[in-house]
Amino acid sequence: MAETIETVIQGTNCTKPSAIKRPYRLVDIIQETPSVKTFKFVSESGELMDFAPGQFVQIGYSSDGSKIDVQRPYSIGSAPKADELEFYIEMIGGKLTSILDKSKIGDIYNISSPNGKNFEYKAGLSKKSLFIAAATGIAPFISMLRYIEQNHVSEDIVVLYSVRTKADIIRASELAEFERKGIAKIVITLTREQDSTSWKGEIGHIDRGKLDRYVPDIKERVVYLCGSNKFNSDMTELLKSCGLPGDKDHIKHDVWGGH
Ligand SMILES: Cc1cc2nc3c(=O)[nH]c(=O)nc-3n(C[C@H](O)[C@H](O)[C@H](O)COP(=O)(O)OP(=O)(O)OC[C@H]3O[C@@H](n4cnc5c(N)ncnc54)[C@H](O)[C@@H]3O)c2cc1C
């Protein structure tokens, strides 16, 4: 049965009227990690979407080509003005992810206009930022880092990225390149790595010790947080315990439910 035209913005209690939707064709599917697939879409009309780094869209599926059966919000990983819209989506066997998992190149989905103004990255807002992500929560930061590189934005950026194992790191080589090119300091921490001999980076959850080591100047930074409800609330408490005010000028949230 088709879901209501009102879309629940997951991880929040708000509903928003559906935005304008346009058909997009699936042009590439990549097995990014054992549980995450990268999906690339192009607009059927050839029009480029005007969005800011950090924003999300609704991806909708229609079995009969008219009414949308199911739609969910996803953060855009591409930089603005890219030819393709890129998404990193964990295959959890839910309503939409089950459909996406069986998708083929050429399938058509409906994609809404962009949303999420409060999480968009604005160059010049701060001289220093801290991006904190868990799992697929890295998606909006990939968009931001690509934008920062393409536009030669000069800002001191540290990325703290928490994933279960080394195999779960999304866009691992691109993140390493951002670090090599001096776009951002990238700190990846593995929360469930068994074989620590093959990993030279950080292990365990993001905690006070890691913040002290990598961002001793945290009070000078605008923090962008992206992950599950629990991750964002744990991180907010941690940041507040470091003396960072919890208001939206200091901590920006993108929360998307789940675990
Ligand atoms: C602004 C925003 C941006 C988002 N961006 C992304 C993104 O870039 N990539 C992405 O993968 N997801 C993203 N999500 C989550 C996405 O919208 C869906 O919730 C998710 O893909 C599950 O949809 P579904 O229809 O398959 O599952 P549903 O049929 O809706 O069932 C989901 C059920 O699984 C639980 N669940 C949700 N996420 C997980 C998880 N990771 N592991 C286990 N259980 C889970 C939910 O609590 C719920 O009970 C975003 C959400 C928001 C609000």
Residue 57 has pLDDT above 90, yes or no: yes
Name the CA dihedral angle for 94, 19, 15, 59, rounded to a multiple of 10 degrees.
10
Take atom 41 of ligand 1 and give the residue whose Cα is closest: 258
Are 117 and 27 in contact by the 8 Å Cβ rule? The answer is no
> Where does a domain end: 50, 82, 115?
115
Q: Give per-residue pLDDT as tens, 75-100.
A: 999 999 999 999 999 999 999 999 99
Q: Are 121 and 56 in contact (CB under 8 A)?
A: no
Is 1 a member of any domain? Answer: no
Residue 180 domain boundaries: 121-255
Look at residue 43 in the predicted model and tell me its pLDDT: 97
Q: Which residue has the higher pLDDT, 254 or 60?
A: 60
- Within this chain, do residues 241 and 185 fall inside the same structural domain, yes or no? yes
Question: Could you tell me if 250 and 166 lie in one domain?
Answer: yes
Residue that terminates a domain, selected from 75, 92, 115: 115
Q: Is the CB of 77 under 6 A from ligand 1?
A: no
Same domain, 104 and 154: no
Q: pLDDT by residue (tens digit) across 195-232?
A: 677 898 999 999 999 999 999 999 999 999 999 999 99
Do residues 97 and 131 both lie within one domain? no
Pocket flag, ligand 1, residue 88 (CB < 6 Å): yes
What is the reported pLDDT for 138? 98
Q: In the prediction, which pLDDT does 19 show?
A: 66
pLDDT at residue 17 greater than cutoff 50: no
Task: Pick the atom of ligand 1 nearest to 135's CA.
Answer: 41
Label each residue of the chain as H, E or C. Answer: CCCCCCEECCCCCCEECCCCEEEEEEEEEEECCCCEEEEEEEECCCCCCCCCCCCEEEEEECCCCCCCCEEEEEECCCCCCCCCEEEEEECCCCHHHHHHHCCCCCCEEEEECCECHHHCCCCCCCCEEEEEEEHHHHHHHHHHHHHHHHCCCCCEEEEEEEECCHHHCCCHHHHHHHHHCCCCEEEEEECCCCCHHHCCCEECCCCHHHHHHHCCCHHHCEEEEEECHHHHHHHHHHHHHCCCCCCCCCEEEEECCCC
Residue 139 shares a structural domain with residue 89: no
Atom 40 (ligand 1): residue with closest C-alpha? 258
pLDDT (tens digit per residue) in 162-200 = 999 999 999 999 999 999 999 999 999 999 976 677 898
Q: How far is CA 102 from the centre of its chain?
A: 22
Are both 142 and 85 inside the same structural domain? Answer: no
Say if residue 109 is in the same domain as residue 133. no
- Residue in the block written with tokens 């001096």: 182
Do 238 and 136 share a structural domain? Answer: yes
Indicate whether residue 73 lines ligand 1 (CB < 6 A): yes
For residue 37 the two structure tokens come to 């697939």
Last residue of a domain, one of 76, 94, 115: 115
Atom of ligand 1 nearest to the CA of 136: 9
Asked whether residue 199 is domain-assigned, the answer is yes
pLDDT above 70 coverage of the chain, percent = 90
**101 belongs to a structural domain:** yes
Give the pLDDT confidence score for residue 259 in this predicted structure: 53
How many domains does the chain divide into?
2
Q: Which atom of ligand 1 is nearest to the CA of 139?
A: 8
Nearest CA to ligand 1 atom 18: 72
